Amino acid sequence: MLSNIEIVERSVILGGARFGERGPYEKIRGFANFEFDPLSDANRNIVDLDKAPRNARGMVEGRSNIYVLQPVNQEDRANVAIFEIVNRGNKTLFNKLNRWTPGREHIEQTMRGGKRGGVPLEVGCMPHDPDDIDVFGDGWLMRRGFTVIWVGWEGDVLPSEHQMYFEAPIAKGVTGVVRNLALVTAPTKTIALGQWGHRPYEATNPDDPDLKLVRQEPNTIAGVEKEEVIPREQWRFAREENGDVIPDPTYIYKADGFDGGVYRLVYESKDPPVLGLGFAVIRDTASYAKHAADCPFPVECAISIGRSQTGRFQLDYLYSGVNGDEEGRRGLDGMIPHTGGAGRGSFNVRFGQPTTGCNHFAATLYPVDMFPFTAAAQTDPHTGRCEGLYDKTTNAAHLPLVFHVNTGWEYWARGNSLLHTTIDGAGDVEEAAHERHFFFSGTQHSVEMTPFPPTEETRLPESLIYRGNFQDYHFALRALVVRLAEWIREGKEPPQSMVPTHERSELARPKEMAFPSIRHFGGPGDVAFYEPWVLDYGARFHDEGIVDIEPPTRFGKSYPCGVSAVDGDGNEIAGVRTLEMRAPLATYTPWRRWDYPNSFTAMTDYFTGAVAPFPRTAAEKALFDDPRPAIEDLYNSKDAFLGEVRARAEEMSREGFLLPEDIEDNVALQGRIWDWVMGRPDYQPG
């Protein structure tokens, strides 16, 4: 449980600025101290909690930094807490829900591996202690009166004034196997064993002559296909500092340097943090906010939202059955696992690496996309295990209401169809009464990775194709936040799930998909399509969270997945269609080919899609031999286009996917897209 809050600072922000009809906000900054009962049934599924040190009361202690924004005046408070589950210690909520847009320089810096205080940034990362009104975007969270809570949950984030972190207890004396993968994009002599600059696992026997360092080729869908062993005498555990080579069990050093590629090292380590307590941190902070008489930020209900890594964190939280606190109360009332796809992760695993997300590019074969995937229990044909996502929750009253929210990218690269199809990929699965599934059609993983308008540098020469998909789903995302709060507080039924189904013939395999022949675009069958592998980490992994086999053994099979079918323009037909899709000026894809000239790094390609504007005129259509309609044949003027957009916006609002207050801003955005599409230079086909 959360025992107390140490307040370091409590002050009114932004000089007492008002947010619409709401009054000023204040910040509360400090530390949350926890005591976890290792004997409580609420914590029974937390790996290695029984091996952590205990205080005089028999409790296991932990400590997190915490940051809260709430209305100063009680009458301005909605009494709803929005917990952002921070991504690798970084806050990004204002980008998602307040429509704060980081500058292009920030985005490019992040793509190049930019850091703040020595720690890598996430795209859309906010300042840790925001004090600039511009960072608050349009202030939507504040205009709604939400209490916003950030608390450190990740036990491998190093304490820093720039991030949220959790000082997790250590399971002293515990040893085990660790696999480290490091992506090298430029020649270097030193590789850190900590992913993303986070806390590394040190080698217990750095002089072991039998350790094997392997360079494996990236971009291997099946995992490890091509590899070479680096002779042991050519590398050692050390780092280079100011020209000196210093022994260090958390780095590896090679005098003649490491070439580009992915390097794999399996070694023994000791004293892992009890990472699964990150789940209890979120649960107990929510319970504290709802029930503690002395809580400085009291609320009536708590909703979590997190994207990508922390979308997967929330799915693993649900699977671990930890939402009932030590006093038998529900922690989170609602959850929005966002852009996590069907993945979970090593958040509750001995020697886990929460920062790592398995993919077919570099971080291969980590425990991320793991059975079970659906609420309904299914039998895994590969292992014979029968299980459902929520089976570990023994009290149904502890289940939160859940919106699974994903983009088109997660269908292509995160196995998202597994959340709602049978394990053989052949049929649909009925969802649980407490959940909904929503998919933003034709969208890429993160809006902010490719800001609008695109630059000419992102265009494939001699074509109409731009790298990156600027389609903006954030308007729809915040409508879903409101729908979830209404479901929790008023019992108001939300929209029905919107995903591609077999019943409606909307699911397709990429290589079987009909796609228009757009010059230089290629087809969906040409791109890397990820389907999770069936992996064996050893006999103790499923029940105890202990990995014994590294790299894991592959059964030689994968779970079959599907993606949304497309219409004649190449736009996906299923899911929640944004205004860009309902009144289209382009083909928007969540995928793109890997071989564009002047492309970004492969990892950026991995996360983004593409936009191919329709030909503007019949002459341009003929020039590019484009099968898609000319814009002049769809809309005879900008006014006609905006009239169609407004009608579709009102349609979205009636369906529950666009707030009435956001209609005008969204229509204006579509007007800017029109101006960009129609104002582009004339191109010649290649």
What's the rounded Cα separation, in Å, for the pair 425 and 502?
9
For a pLDDT cut of 90, what percent of the chain falls above it?
81
Residues whose CB is less than 8 angstroms from the CB of residue 451 and which lie 6 or more positions away in sequence, other chains included: 101, 104, 107, 470
What value does the mean pLDDT take over residues 82-88?
96
Question: Mean pLDDT, to the nearest integer, of 48-72?
Answer: 98
Q: Decide: 116 and 91 in contact? Cβ < 8 Å.
A: no
The domain spans of the chain are 1-169+273-299, 175-270, 396-686
CA–CA distances in Å: residue 362 to residues 101, 223, 368: 29, 9, 14
Percent over 70 (pLDDT), the chain: 93
At residue 602 the predicted structure's pLDDT band, cuts being 50, 70 and 90, is very low
Do residues 302 and 290 make contact, with C-beta atoms less than 8 angstroms apart? yes
The predicted pLDDT at position 183 comes to: 83
3-state secondary structure of 487: helix
Cβ 631 vs Cβ 610: under 8 Å: no
User: How high is the pLDDT of residue 54?
Assistant: 98
pLDDT tens digits, one per residue of 464-494:
999 999 999 999 999 999 999 999 999 999 9
Residue 105, SS3 per DSSP:
helix
Q: From 518, 568, 409, 401, select the one nearest 473 (Cα to Cα).
A: 409
> Looking at residue 615, what is its pLDDT?
97
Per-residue pLDDT tens for 160-184? 888 999 999 999 999 999 999 888 8
Instruction: Inform me whether the pLDDT recorded for 598 exceeds 50.
Output: no
Answer for the pair 500, 684: CB distance below 8 angstroms, yes or no: no
Q: Which residue has the higher pLDDT, 219 or 187?
A: 187
Per-residue pLDDT at 61 exceeds 60:
yes
Residue 554 pLDDT grade (very low, low, confident, very high; cuts 50, 70, 90): confident
- Residue 225 confidence (pLDDT): 56
Q: What's the average model confidence in pLDDT over 240-265?
A: 94
- pLDDT (0 to 100) of residue 361: 61
Q: What is the mean pLDDT of residues 561-568?
A: 97
For 249, what's the count of Cα atoms within 13 Å in the CB-facing half-sphere? 13
Q: Token pair for residue 134? A: 């511009």
CA-closest candidate to residue 373, choices 559, 574, 575, 565 = 559
Inform me whether the pLDDT recorded for 675 exceeds 80. Answer: yes
| Residue 580 parent element (H or E) | helix 579-582
* Residues 333-355: tens digit of each pLDDT: 999 999 999 999 999 999 999 98
Confidence of residue 15 (pLDDT cuts 50, 70, 90): very high
Asked whether the predicted pLDDT for residue 187 surpasses 80, the reply is yes
Q: What's the mean per-residue pLDDT of the chain?
A: 92
Length of the chain measured in residues: 686
What are 159's strand-pairing partners? Answer: none
- How many CB atoms lie under 10 A from the CB of residue 121? 23
Our CA angle for 398, 400, 402, nearest 5°, is 155
Tell the residue number behind the tokens 């207050």, with chain if given.
661
Beta carbons within 8 Å of 233's beta carbon, 6+ residues apart = none
Task: Out of 211-220, 455-464, 566-575, pick the least confident.
Answer: 211-220
pLDDT 10s digits, 101-145: 876 666 666 555 566 655 566 677 898 999 999 999 999 999 999
Find all residues with CB under 8 Å of 681, minimum gap 6, and list them: none
Which residues contact residue 582 at a Cβ distance below 8 angstroms, ignoring those fewer than 6 apart? 645, 648, 651, 652
Identify the pLDDT of residue 526: 76
Determine the average pLDDT of the residues in 531-559.
Answer: 92
Average pLDDT on 261-272 reads: 94
8: part of which helix (H) or strand (E)?
Answer: strand 2-12
Q: Check if the beta carbon of residue 31 is closer than 8 Å to that of residue 8.
A: yes
pLDDT band at 360 (very low <50, low <70, confident <90, very high): low
The SS3 of residue 664 is: helix
pLDDT above 90: residue 186: no
Terminal-to-terminal C-alpha distance of the chain: 64
In this predicted structure, what is the pLDDT of residue 362? 64
Of the listed ranges 51-65, 281-295, 468-482, 545-559, the one predicted with least confidence:
545-559
Task: Answer yes or no: are the C-beta atoms of 148 and 70 closer than 8 Å.
Answer: yes
Least confident of 75-79, 213-217, 360-364, 411-415: 360-364
